[in-house]
Amino acid sequence: MLKLTARQQQILDLIANAIENTGFPPTRAEIANELGFRSVNAAEEHLQALARKGAIEISPGTSRGIRLIKPALARGLSADDTGKQFTLPHPALMQLNLPLVGRVAAGSPILAQEHIQANYNVDPALFSAKPDYLLKVRGMSMRDAGILDGDLLAVKKSENARNGQIVVARLGDDVTVKRYKKTGSAIELLPENPDFETIVVNEDQDDFALEGLVVGLLRNWT
């Protein structure tokens, strides 16, 4: 049976909540800041301990390369319970076939056939929710959220979002990826790079629409 210390469970909860609320796991720096560690090394040591116990999987070389192996552990269930609740078929049977969307033409649906560059089979366990398509990132406006030019974002179609979530939004002739913040009827699309400015729109604005929520990221696929 998997046994976690109170601190390890706290970190696992933090990871699960970040994925649920934003679509991404936290960085080491965010974990350290949230839990009052003096350095990111302390966060890294706890993550490595969780990986050794089989609670998470760490992808080297990426700031947000953390995946929950047993998501129910972050909900206070025992390892035995997670084993029963998350009994899955063979991984080969679980692959999602997702279209890769390239540059989107103004006024046409984001999943229009002319926008589809390719299709990829991916493991659904990589994402916080089931995505509907992959979108190739252009530019560095979300650099500090770990989203870089050329990355592939997994996007779940949605017309609604909560504050703090990273969204795909259509604004006029452009499709953009930003962090969502709504106050009253005003919506701010926040970059994660100080070199870029916040975009402010009204929820009833004719040329604005939410296309979806970012639920994961893939890198070095092309």
CA distance 57 to 82: 16
3 is catalytic: no
Contact of 7 with 50, CB cutoff 8 Å: no
- Whose tokens are 């839990």? That residue is 35
Q: What is the DSSP letter of 187?
A: E
| CA–CA dist 106, 56 (Å, integer) | 41
Q: In DSSP terms, which residues pair with 96 in a beta bridge?
A: 122
**Residue 136 designated active-site:** no
What is the rounded CA–CA span in Å between residue 17 and residue 128?
Answer: 10
Helix (H, G, I), strand (E, B), or coil: what is residue 57? Answer: strand
How many residues are present in the chain? 222
Catalytic annotation, pick one of 39, 178, 181, 182: 178
Residues 129, 154: Cα–Cα separation, whole Å: 9
Of the residues 70, 128, 141, 156, which is catalytic?
141
- Residue 152 neighbours by CB distance under 10 Å: 22
**Which active-site residues does the annotation give?**
141, 178
